Structure 1
Amino acid sequence: MKRTRFAGTLLAAAAAVTLSLGAPGNAGAAEKTLKLHHLNKDDPFDNATGAMATVFESLVESGTNGSIDVQTFPAGQLGKDAEVVQQVKSGVIQSGIHSVGGFASTYPMISVLDVPFAFPNISTTYEVFDGPFGERLSKDIMEKTGIKVLGFGDSGGFFHFTNSKRQIKSLEDMDGLKIRTMGLDTHKTMVDALGAQPTAIAWSEVYTALQTGVADGQMNPVPIIAFANFNEVQSYLTLSGHLFTPYVWAINKDFYDSLTEHERGVIDYAAHSAIVAGRGLNRIIESSKERGLPALEANMEVYAMSPEEKARFRDAALPAVKELISEKFGAEGTEMMEAFLGAIETASNN
């Protein structure tokens, strides 16, 4: 069943990208402008946000007969991700595809998603974020920030560890490694609980930090490791699959409410289709000989953790992260975290 859904995801992704590239021109002048921020290059075949933005732009403009003009601003042109979340909230721009790290400055409780080793496989992440839990999280974001969420995208798949010192095959191999993290307390707590030394470094500085030894390693999904060329400065890749952090696709609520019912329907459909396209592209990149795991294997030693090894890592990190979430967000955060874990269990048993 899961293989069927996954195949459908890839077919839908390919169809959406093809449609976006072959869409006819719009009739009439645009009445409304939607400025869309995303984090990477505006290339639908290079990265997930590029695919998402391209598909969304095409489907919105064609579906509204050009009444909405989508203008994309890739690669952080409008500022740092956290700053652009505020631009979306205030209506300076209309929409953004944000990292969890960027979104956390506006909605800190997004950190409940940082439970380590929570997901058994990638298809389960889609079921959780497209299902009742995703709706609950979106509603809570709306209530606390006033930002409407269009959906949750795939930022590259599961996070894995890389480093330049040694292969990580056991918990003891983490001892003393300086691991770059985002500035999220949950990420730093997890790395610390595993026996390594968390080192918060801005994304723009990570390659240099790894090259110079300021950090020994880092953690990211395979597509990001590949396009950031970390294989040039890292010798070991450990397929740990310890985290999944989605993109949060936000839209200004006042702008959304100002649209006609038909336009809102097009926006919703286009965002969903774009998210499917991004997911499919990430799986393709992850597996490709030129840009994915096979390419990284050419000059990195790759090791896949066994279930038993993952269980040891999970037992070491999970209590510390759960305690942090409970301390930081109280009963409300604990309840949201438990709802998240319950949704994963339900999806895993389907």
Structure 2
Amino acid sequence: MKRTGKRIISMLLCVLLASALSTTALAAEDGKVLKLAFTDSPTLVIGDMTIYHPSYAAMLAFKGAFEKSTGGEYSVELYPNGVLGDAASTMEQMLTGTITGSTPADGALSAFAPDIQVFTIPYLFDNPTIAYDVLDGDFGRQLFEKIAAETGFRVVASYDNGGYRNFTNSKREIRTAADMEGLNIRVQDSPVYLEMVEALGASATPVAFLELYSALQTGVVDGQENSCVTTLGASLDEVQPYCTLDGHLLGLAFLVISDTWYQGLDADTQAKVDEAGREATIAARGICRYAEALAVDTMVANGVQVYSPTAEELETF
């Protein structure tokens, strides 16, 4: 009886496996396999903790929600670590229909949709919940519809990319904008960042990110601005003893899909895509808030002098 029971269970497992493989094969044949690309590693290491990258968390949540809501009719494949190319390349592949979706940060999306740069105005959002209200409200919805119509990229999830960007440096504690005077700060080669730092009284020097650690270590630049998550990820805290949580920019990232693909769906399936996008948004935002808090605590534990300006001091920025 025991052998018979085991035999029946084995047969049932084989049937289930064959059914799953058959469903996947049919999905592929019907063009119902979605390919989502991501340029970075699926995980982040912050101190002793390893957590999902916000963009990968968004992809996982979208996959789970969409596959479940469609009863397995659609299959979602995830391609992290840049295996399908960099951000620009994956977005080009979306336009040609090679892949279905990608997870660009605001900088990569702005190359196709310049209007998204409205969110890079320095000191625009006092806290993340305000940013989320704007992204989820009428302004965000209208902007995303405009981008979809003009570019073919439909934003289905929006979240911040690891938290606020803050200033770090190797010279002194920054409490007010006056303390920026005389510092040489590394920035991205972007007019917004260059003008922001210059307006605060410091010198702005573009340096490639891969060269940043060396530039800070050798004194080519005194400081830099990035989220605490990014600062830790690149070990910049080793050469930056001071950090000021001024929160000058809340960098954003998005899960975008091909609008051509989306428009080819029936209304019911479109609604399921939208709902999966909302679940992806919630997952990514939760990871962002956790990652940022964990990164700040880790920097303090690593010996970085982290300063939170008062409301009056922030006004000087």
Asked whether the two chains share a fold, i.e. TM above 0.5, the reply is: yes
CA distance in 1, matches of 2:93, 2:139: 26
Residue 256 (structure 1) aligns with? 262
Displacement of 1:60 in angstroms is 2.0
Aligned residues: 287
Local SS of the residue matching 2:182 = coil
Q: For 2:193, give the aligned amino acid.
A: H
CA distance in 1, matches of 2:271, 2:142: 20
Displacement of 1:77 in angstroms is 2.8
CA distance in 2, matches of 1:272, 1:207: 37
Structure 2 unaligned spans of 5+: 1-15, 45-50
1:117 correspondence with 2:119: no
Cα offsets for 1:228-258 (capped at 9, x unmatched): 3221221111010111121132211111122
The partner residue of 1:224 within 200, 223, 230 is: 230
Displacement of 1:185 in angstroms is 1.6
1:145 correspondence with 2:154: no
The partner residue of 1:294 within 287, 294, 297 is: 297
Distance of aligned partners of 1:67 and 1:300 in 2 relative to their CA distance in 1, 3 Å threshold: same
Q: For 2:297, give the aligned amino acid.
A: P
Residue 40 (structure 2) aligns with? 40
Contact 1:151–1:275 (8 Å) recurs in 2: yes
The partner residue of 2:96 within 90, 100, 118 is: 90
Q: For 2:42, give the aligned amino acid.
A: D
CA distance in 1, matches of 2:70, 2:209: 37
Cα offsets for 1:104-162 (capped at 9, x unmatched): 21122322212221212221111110111111211221233232221312212221111
1:309 correspondence with 2:317: no
Larger Rg: 2
After the TM superposition, which of the residue ranges 232-241 and 29-38 deviates more from structure 2? Answer: 29-38
Structure 1 unaligned spans of 5+: 1-23, 314-350
Local SS of the residue matching 2:103 = strand
Contact 1:101–1:182 (8 Å) recurs in 2: no
After the TM superposition, which of the residue ranges 190-199 and 214-223 deviates more from structure 2? Answer: 214-223
Distance of aligned partners of 1:180 and 1:93 in 2 relative to their CA distance in 1, 3 Å threshold: farther
Contact 2:185–2:205 (8 Å) recurs in 1: yes
The partner residue of 1:180 within 186, 193, 203 is: 186
Distance of aligned partners of 1:107 and 1:199 in 2 relative to their CA distance in 1, 3 Å threshold: farther
Cα offsets for 1:304-329 (capped at 9, x unmatched): 1122222111xxxxxxxxxxxxxxxx
- Aligned pairs for 1:62-141 (under 5 A) are 62-141=68-147
Residue 171 (structure 2) aligns with? 165
Residue 318 (structure 1) aligns with? none
CA distance in 1, matches of 2:253, 2:169: 25
Q: Among the aligned pairs, what percent are the same residue? A: 35
Contact 1:43–1:51 (8 Å) recurs in 2: no
TM-score (norm 1): 0.75
Displacement of 1:177 in angstroms is 2.5
Cα offsets for 1:7-48 (capped at 9, x unmatched): xxxxxxxxxxxxxxxxx9994222422111224322493321
Distance of aligned partners of 1:201 and 1:70 in 2 relative to their CA distance in 1, 3 Å threshold: farther
CA distance in 2, matches of 1:89, 1:212: 43
Q: For 1:282, give the aligned amino acid.
A: C
Contact 1:88–1:250 (8 Å) recurs in 2: no
CA distance in 1, matches of 2:220, 2:82: 25
The partner residue of 1:233 within 226, 230, 239 is: 239
CA distance in 1, matches of 2:86, 2:221: 22
Q: For 1:46, give the aligned amino acid.
A: Y
Local SS of the residue matching 1:180 = strand
